[in-house]
Each structure stands twice: as C-alpha cells, then as structure tokens.
Structure 1
Amino acid sequence: MNLPIVQSTHGVTLAGGGPFTARDLRLALARAPVPVAADSGADRLLHLGVAPQAVIGDMDSISARARAEIPVERQHLVAEQVTTDFDKALRLIEAPLVLALGFAGARLDHGLAALSTLIARSERRCILIGPQDLAFAAPPRLDLDLVPGEPLSLFPMAQVTGRSAGLEWPITGLRFAPDGMIGTSNRVARRRVVLEFDRRGMLVILPRRRLDAAIRALLATG
C-alpha cells in the first residue's frame, strides 16, 4: 500500500491541467488552503501565482519551465500509466477534504475519467468543482442544508438503491444504474435533504453556489 505523499490536517486544493480561473482558485483555497498539483496542474497554479506544495503524476504533461521552478523534492513521479493523474494524486493525499479544480473542463473523456475516480476513491472526501456545478461521491448517508427550488441531480456510476427526504421526487424504491434509471434534474423541496444509499456508487451534483453546504455535509460524515 502506497504511503501518502501529502498529509495535512487542512483541506487540499488539487489542481488539474484543465481550465480554471483565478476566481476559482481563490474560492477553493479559502476553504482548502494547501495547494497541490496533478502533473500539468502545476503550470496552472504557477500561472496564477501559486506555488504547489507538491506535484503528483506521471510528469508527461508538466512543462520543463514548471519543473525547473518547483523544488525537486516537491515533485513526486508516479510512473504507472494505468490510472489518471487525478487518481494518482487523490489516492496519495490524506486530508479531511480535497477540492479539485481543472478536471471537469475542456475534454469530455477527461471529465468522465474524473467522475469515475470520485467513485473509485470514494473513501476520500473530494468535491469536483466545475464552471457551474460541483460533484462528489455520495457517502452511505448525507444530510444537506439546501434551498428549496434548486436543482439536485443524482447520477449512478453503479447499481444503487436508496431513500430520500426533502426532494421533490423521492428516490425511495428506485433502482438506479448508469444504463437504466438515473436521477438528473431533481429539485430540493425542503431545506433539509437527507439521502441514504445501500452502497457506494452514486454521484451528487449541486449548483456551485452550494459548495459550502456540500463541504459541511461531507465533513459531518464518518
């Protein structure tokens, strides 16, 4: 079992090589102040004036300039090509929370791979932040404080069943699967939303403005 490369009692902002803005970075660092890069995410951080405390990945896309600028002891090569750099970084970070930027952007295949990693590494509390939405792997039970009328989508990455309270369309009794019943475009009916699932494998997708609610809910889980 690989030992963690980054161990922190504070939240980690994990930067990928996809697009994100200075505003996105400020939003994440205000809540997860330890900057870490997955491969070419280092270039994104340096461009925005932030030096990563660690760079993790197969180092096939980070620029020579970034490698020269970042101390060698902060560069951690993970040479295997079986997993993505997001997966490599996430499994080697031990922190109460990871906010991931630059993984849900320009390329559809990269975005799908990142969503798959959220499920594969669901033991990590990680929120993937996109331009409009955020996504995270649902724990067995989740208690959210939200705003009635706002969207809440559920997307199964495996066969999952569950129960809900506080949604306009309850999920109790439904059998979800990626090639069957999905739960996109549900809505919040009451301020308190409670979700329970029989197994890992469900993604929760919320408007980005509900980031703090998602963080509170995830940190409250065991």
Structure 2
Amino acid sequence: MDIESVQDAVIVSRNHTVCLVGGARVNPQVITSILPIVDHFVAVDGGADHLLDAGISPRAVIGDLDSLSEHARATFAAQITHIPEQATTDFEKALTRVANPMIIALGFTGGRMDHILAVLNVLARNTARAVILLDETDLCFVARIGETRIAPPAGTRIALMPLAAARVTATGLRWSFADQDMHPTGFISSSNEVAGPVTVQTDGPVLITLPAAHLQIAMQAAARG
C-alpha cells in the first residue's frame, strides 16, 4: 500500500516537523536533543514506552499494538489508533497517517534486521516523502528524484546506497562518479567522504547516510517541494 493512497486516514497533518518513535532501542539523549526542532511526537506501537519514559505525551499512538506495554496503553489510551491489519508494518501504518512535510524517525534502525529492511522497503516505495531515519550514530534519508544538494563539512563521512535500480551522478565527493548505474546487488558508494558541496542527481531511490551530528543539514537537503 502506497502512502499516497490513504489521504482519508490522516491523523496528524500540519505544516510542522513530526517525530515517529518506534520500538527499537532509542537513546534518551537523542530524544532530548531534537526537542527544540520537533513539533509533535507520534508513537509507533512499542515506541510509546520510550516516550512514556521521556515524559512526552504523543499526538497519537499508531500500530497493531502487539508490542505496547500495559502501562503505556493505559497512559495514552485517548491517543491510541489501533490498526490490526497485518498487510503493512507499523512503520508504514504510521507514515500513511502522518502527512507532515518533514518526518524524523527514531527507533527503527536497531534491533531485528528484518524490521530494518522493511523500513527501507517502505522508503524506497515512497520517495516523495521527506523522512530521516535517526539514531545516536547516524542518519539517512532518500535523495530526491532529480537533484539533491547537501553541504556537510569537508571530510564528513557519507554513503550513497541504492534501494533499487538508479542512474546516479554524484559530485563533491572524494570518490565522485558520473552517470553510474547503481543497484543493491551492483555498484554502491559506501564509506565515501565529502570533499566540497555535494550534488546528487538520481532517477531512482538512493539512500544518503551521514553522521547524526548533521541532522539540520540533512533536514534542509531532504525537504521536498
């Protein structure tokens, strides 16, 4: 199910930044660090327990609720939207009901490997959304179809990882490349380095990965519109 097909089910829809919090491991310091730039938090199933621990009341709690503690269930009873169908993951359930222009997602990059791969699958199918996966070490987002410009400091670690077939030109890297076919089973650009302002031109879904310290820079680059 594509995100664009469920506009009638939107729960959170404002011109602000929202943070989705999933049930995988979350460093409480990361939640604290993004408080000044996040307008609303949305818990994704067991992520409600992370927000409960942080003393944050979410705008909504979304998911099939199979990982939600009884304490969180009782505390956030008024915010719960139970979606029992199993055709989509809890991450996709939340994204289909959040129409904010910028989404930061915590608690989706650790834990079970199949959960991480499922998150990347959703991002690859919804390149029109500005979604940044974040943890205490790294962040990543899907480059715009067309051109993405980003200017981290020279020497910053960066990776370009295709989520499907894409033809890509990337400049401003230590190892730049032009008109290159990229594919998950073919050419990738991991452990690259910023040499100057970076421009990525792509016709397919390509994940840009940076250190978490560059969240503000990533938000500017990931913005759609």
Identity across the alignment (%): 37
3-state secondary structure, aligned to 1:30: helix
1:213 equivalent to 2:217? Answer yes
Partner residue, 1:164: 170
Give the C-alpha shift of residue 131 in structure 1. Answer: 2.7
1:121 equivalent to 2:126? Answer yes
Partners in 2 of 1:122 and 1:62 — Cα distance? 29
Partner residue, 1:75: 80
Q: 1:180 aligns with which of 156, 181, 186?
A: 186
3-state secondary structure, aligned to 2:141: strand
Partner residue, 1:99: 104
Q: 1:143 aligns with which of 149, 172, 196?
A: 149
Give the C-alpha shift of residue 173 in structure 1. Answer: 2.4
3-state secondary structure, aligned to 2:160: strand
Gaps in structure 2 of 5+ consecutive residues: none
Partners in 2 of 1:173 and 1:53 — Cα distance? 44
Give the C-alpha shift of residue 52 in structure 1. Answer: 0.9
Check whether the contact 1:90–1:121 (CA below 8 A) recurs between aligned residues.
no
Partners in 1 of 2:184 and 2:135 — Cα distance? 21
1:48 equivalent to 2:92? Answer no
Per-residue CA deviations over 1:33-62 (Å, capped at 9, x if unaligned) read 201111111111101111111011111111
Normalized against structure 1, the TM-score is what?
A: 0.93
Give the C-alpha shift of residue 28 in structure 1. Answer: 2.6
1:195 equivalent to 2:194? Answer no
Partners in 1 of 2:191 and 2:144 — Cα distance? 20
Partners in 2 of 1:110 and 1:104 — Cα distance? 8
Q: In the comparison of the two structures, how many residue pairs are matched?
A: 218
Check whether the contact 2:109–2:135 (CA below 8 A) recurs between aligned residues.
yes
3-state secondary structure, aligned to 1:6: coil
Partners in 2 of 1:196 and 1:112 — Cα distance? 24
Gaps in structure 1 of 5+ consecutive residues: none
Give the C-alpha shift of residue 125 in structure 1. Answer: 0.7
Give the C-alpha shift of residue 27 in structure 1. Answer: 2.2
Per-residue CA deviations over 1:102-121 (Å, capped at 9, x if unaligned) read 11012222222222222223
